[in-house]
Structure 1
Amino acid sequence: MFEVNELILKKAKELGFGDVVVLAHEQNRRQVRFANNEIIVAKNWHTQKVELFAEYEKRVASTTLAALDENTIEKTLQMLMKSVKNLAPKEDYYGIAEGPFKYKDIPETFDKAIVELDEPNEYVEVAINAALEEGAERVAGVLYTDHNKLYLTTSNGVEAFDAGTGIEISVRAFIGDEESGHGTNSVRILKEFDPESAGRKAGEIAKLATNPIQGEAGTFDVVFDPLAFANLLSYMSFMTSAFTVEAGFSFLVGKLGQKVANEKVSLKDVGNMPNAYGTRKFDDEGVPTRETKIIENGILKTYLLNTSFARKYKTETTANAGLLMPKAWNIYLEAGDYSKDEIFGEVKHGIYITNVWYTRFQNYVTGDFSTIPRDGAFLIENGEIVKPIRNIRVSDNFQHILENIAALGKDLYHVHWWEVTTPVFTPYVLVKNVEITKATK
C-alpha cells in the first residue's frame, strides 16, 4: 500500500498540487448477526481504499479511491485538479504538519488472537444465553471483529504505519412488543472481551421494562445510563472540533475560557489510550496522538485542532487532524466518586434512561436538542426504580445538561456501537432538572 501511496503522491505533485495527504486503509472485518436467539448471518470483508487530501494555491479538496490501478489514479487526480481550480482560495488555510515523527507503540491495540480467531460464534452464544437467563424471550444483535491497517504518506515527509484489532458486540433483548434492553461490549484485545456482560445487561433491562405505562411530561432529575450519555457525548465530540465551531454547528462558539459545564465535569480526548476503540498512533497528518483536555472543571480549555487551525489560533495542534476537519478519537468523561446505588439514592422523583437514539438539534448554536429514550426507561421514587415508562422524549439544551450534572459514577464504561461512532468513556450520570415531553408515535 505504501507503493500505491507513493504513486499517488508523485502524480499529485506532477500535476501541481502543494500539500498532499494520502491515507490508505486496509480492513479485514467479520460480522455475525443474530436474531430470535440464533445466528442468522456470518460475513467476511476485505477492503482497501485510499483517502486523499490535496491543496492547490490554498484551494483544498478531498476524495476517496476504491480502485487503485494507475489509470484510475491518474484520472481521479486530473478530475480533482479540474474541480479544485474552480474553488475559491481558503485564505485561512495554513498547511499540514511537517514530519517526520517518531511513534510509540500503544499497548492493547493489536491482538494476534483476534486476527486468528476462527470461531466467534461461541461469544454470540454466551451473550444470547446470558440475556435469556435474565428473563429475555428473544435476543438479537451483531458481533464484529476487525483487523485494520493504516498507511500514511504526506508531502511533508511523513510515512507512518499502524495496525489494530478489535472485537465488539451489541445485544438487544426483548420480551413483548414494548419491553427491550440493550447492552454492548467493545475491546481491542480478546482476553478483555466480555459478551456475557452485554447480554446480561440487555436481559436485565428488558425484564425490568415489562408492562410500561405512559410517561408524564415535566422537569425531572434523570439518571443517564452510560449507553445513553455516551450518545450525547458523541455529539459533544463533534461540536468540539474547531471546524464545527467556525461553521456554526456548535453551542461552544465563542466560549473558550468560559464555564460551559458543572465544575464536576472534566472532558478530554485521548487518542493514545490503551484498549480504546478509537486509538491510533497518529492523526491524519501524521502527528502522534495524545491526550487533550477539552473541558477542565467546567471550563472550556480548547477546541480540537489540526495544524492549520492551530496556526490560525497561534497555538499547537491537538493531534486531531482528519482529512478536512479535526475530529475526536476517544472522548473521556472523568469519573466521579459515586457508586451506582449512591447516584440512584440522590433521586427523590426522577427517571432512569438506559438508551437514546434519534438525537436531533433544533438549534446547533444554542444547543437545543431532543432525543428519544430507546429500550427500558423507568420512574425513580426515593432512589428506587418503581415502574417502567414509555413514549417520552428528552427536550432540553446541551449546555443546560452539562451545567446541571450533579453526580458522576466512579466506574467508567467504554461505549461504541452504530449510534456512538466516536468511542466514549463515561460513568453513570445524574442530571438535575431535565425537560421531559411526551413522544408522538
Structure 2
Amino acid sequence: MDLLEVGTKVKEKALAIGFDEVAVGVTATESVMVKFANSEPSVVQNWSTIEVGVYVTKGQRILGTSAPVSSLEDAYRILEKLYAMHHRLPPSMLYAPLPEPGKPAVLQGLVDKRLVESIRDPSGISEAIVEAANRYRIDYFAGMLQISHDRKALATSKGAEMQEESTYLKMYIRAFAGEGSGQWSLGTRRLDMRRVEEVAETAADFAFRSRVQEEVQPGRYNILLSPMVAGNLFNYIADMALAHSVLMGSSIFMNNQPGDRVASEALTIEDAPHLVELPGSTSFDDEGVPTYNKPIIEKGVLKTLLHNTKTASKFGAKTTGNAGLVFPRLWALNVRPGDYKFEELLSEMKNGLIVTNNWYTRLQNYVEGTFSTITRDAIFIVKDSDIVGAARKLRIADSFPRMLQNIVAVGDTPYDMYWWEVETPTRTPYILVRDSGTSKHTA
C-alpha cells in the first residue's frame, strides 16, 4: 500500500468516526547514522519508520498528534483515542476551516540517488571524513553523519492528495587539539564530497589554531558570528516570527507590525522552502497549501509573520504556506549574503572576537528578547584586524533587538548549517555584530 493510500484510508476512517475535518500526513523514512569517536567510526545504525500525523476537528475543537505506526490499525486506534477526548476540549479560538487544496509546483532536485545508495553503504563518506580531519595536527575528533530518504503524502477532507520524495545529509564534526576544539556542520539534499571534507577540515583547523588559549575579560566586544552561531540565533528569531509565537506572548515582534524597522539594513532573512539544496525544502505545507519563499526581515524591515490558515484568520491575513500539524512552522532559512569577504569583515571589526560555535541559548524574557548563550569551541581574538590568539569560554549576554540593530556587516559566502543547535536548516554567511555583551562562564 503506498503512502497516499494509507493517508486516504486514515482520512476516511476519521470522517466515519465522526470528525468534521481531517488532514493526514504520512511519512516513511529510511536512515543511516554513523557516529565517530576517537577519530574513527564507532557505531553504524540503520532504521526505517512510518509516521502518521493527524489533524482533526469536531465542533470547532482542534486535536492533533503524530506517532510511528506499523499498521493501519495503529493509526485507527489513534483516531479513536482522539475522538474519545474531543468533548473535553472547548472550541478553539483559533479555529478556521481547512483550506481548499492548492496546486503546488513540483520542486526539482529534492532527491539525490547517491544519498539513497549511501544509506546502504556510508563507508565511502565516512572514510573521506576521517581522511580530511587527519590532514591537520589534531589529537582526535568525534561527530555524527546522518543520511535519510523521506517519502511523504498528504490527504485532507478538502480533497488534497499530494506526495513528495526527498533526501538529505546532516553532519557535524568536532575536533580537539591541546586546549582547543573546533566544530562545523552541514545540511544538504545533495552529496558533494568536497563539502563533506570541508566540514572535517574546518573543525580540525579551528581546533589546531585554538590549541593554546588565554583569558579575556568579559565586557562589550565587536563579535563576528560564525554561520554555526548565526544559524542558532536566527533560528530563535525566526521562530518568533511564527504567528502563534506572537499570540502566545513569546516573541520580540509582539509590538511590531509588518513595515516596522527591526534590524540593520544589512540583514535579510527569508523562509525558503523552495531553496531545494536545504533539508526542509518542500512544495506544500501540512494543510495542502503551496509553499513559497518569502522574506521575514528584508533590509532590516519586518515584512511578514508566518501563518497557517488558522492564525491568518485570527490576524486578518493570508496563509503563508507555513502550516505544520497544528501550528505554523519554519521550513528552511536563508540569510541573504552581503558584500564582505572574510578579511574585510576583520578589517571592519578592527578589534573583537570571532565566535565559532555556541550552545545552551536561553531566553530570560521573550518579549524583550534578552538572552544568553555559551560559546563553545574556538574563540579567536582579533586585534588591529588580525587574528592574534584564542580565548577561553565566555557567555554572550545581550538582547535580540539590540543584536539585530547592531549588525554592521554580512559576509559574502553562505554556509548550510544543520545540527542539533540549528534545528531549522539555515543558509547563512558570517555576521559581524558591534558592541555585543559578554559575561564570564563559570561552569
Q: TM-score range by the shorter chain?
A: over 0.9
CA distance in 2, matches of 1:165, 1:305: 26
Q: Is the 8 A contact 2:238 2:296 kept in 1?
A: no
Q: Is residue 253 from structure 1 mapped to residue 254 from structure 2 by the alignment?
A: yes
Q: 1:246 to 1:192 in 2, by over 3 A?
A: farther
Alignment of 1:10-25 (within 5 A): 10-25=12-27
Cα deviation 1:282-338 (Å, max 9, x = unaligned)? 111111111111111211111101112222223221111001111111111111110
Within the candidate set 317, 324, 327, 1:325 is matched to 327
After TM superposition, give the deviation of residue 192 of structure 1 in Å.
6.4
Partners of 2:358 and 2:242 in 1: CA distance: 23
Measure the CA separation in 1 of the matches of 2:194 and 2:313: 41
Query: Equivalents in 2 of 1:375, 1:122: separation in Å?
Result: 28
Determine the C-alpha separation between the residues in 2 that align with 1:7 and 1:334: 43
Aligned pairs (5 A) from 1:402-417: 402-417=404-419
Using the TM superposition, give the Cα deviation of residue 132 of structure 1 relative to its aligned residue in structure 2, in angstroms: 2.1
Where in structure 2 are the equivalents of 1:274-353 lying within 5 Å? 274-353=276-355
Kindly provide the amino acid, as one letter, of the partner of residue 372 in structure 1.
I
Of residues 160, 164, 167, the one that matches 2:166 is 164
Deviation at 1:193, TM superposition (A): 5.9
Post-superposition CA distance 1:59-89 (Å, at most 9, x none):
1111123235344333322221222211111
> Are residues 175 and 84 of structure 1, via their aligned partners in 2, closer, same or farther at CA, if it must alter by over 3 Å?
same
Alignment of 1:8-407 (within 5 A): 8-99=10-101, 101-117=102-118, 118-176=120-178, 178-191=179-192, 194-256=195-257, 257-407=259-409
Q: Distance in 1 between matches of 2:104 and 2:192?
A: 26
- What letter matches 2:438 in structure 1? I
State the AA in 2 paired with 1:39: P
Identify if the C-alpha distance between structure 1 residues 70 and 188 changes in structure 2 by more than 3 Å, giving closer, same or farther. closer
Counterpart secondary structure, 2:413: coil
Q: Summarize deviations over 1:127-180 as a string: whole Å, max 9, x none.
A: 22222222212011111111000110011110100000112321111113x411
TM-score when normalising by structure 1 = 0.96
1:51–1:63 CA contact under 8 A, matched in 2:
yes
Q: CA deviation at 1:58?
A: 1.3
Give secondary structure in 1 for the equivalent of 2:111.
Answer: coil
How far residue 189 of structure 1 moved from its aligned partner, in angstroms, is: 1.8
CA distance in 1, matches of 2:194, 2:156: 36
Runs of 4+ in 1 over 4 A off after TM superposition: none
Report the Cα offset of residue 251 of structure 1.
0.9
**Separation in 2 of the partners of 1:419 and 1:353?**
15
SS of 1:369's partner is strand
Q: Which amino acid aligns with 1:294?
A: I
Aligned AA (1:279)? S
State the shift of 1:108 in Å: 2.1
The DSSP-based 3-state class of the residue aligned with 1:250 is coil
Cα deviation, residue 228, structure 1: 1.1
Whole-angstrom CA distance in 2 between matches of 1:218 and 1:191 = 41
Output the amino acid matched with 1:207. F
- AA of the residue aligned to 1:124: S
Aligned counterpart, 2:424: 422
Contact (CA 8 Å) 2:171, 2:418: kept in 1 or not? Answer: no
Structure 1 4/68 Cα, relative in aligned 2: closer, same or farther at 3 Å? farther
What is the CA–CA distance in structure 2 between the aligned matches of 1:80 and 1:166, rounded to whole Å? 33
Structure 2 Cα separation of the partners of residues 267 and 189 of structure 1 = 23
Structure 2: distance between partners of 1:96 and 1:193: 44
Provide the aligned length of Structure 1 versus Structure 2.
439
1:133 alignment partner, SS class: coil
- Per-residue Cα deviation, 1:225-265 (whole angstroms, up to 9, x for no partner): 11111110111121110011111111111212211101111
Return the letter of the residue paired with 1:169: M
Aligned-pair Cα RMSD in Å: 1.4
In the alignment, the residues of structure 2 paired with residue 247 and residue 111 of structure 1 have an alpha-carbon distance, to the nearest angstrom, of 39
Distance 1:269 1:119 in 2: 33
* C-alpha contact 2:379 2:393 (8 A) present in aligned 1: no
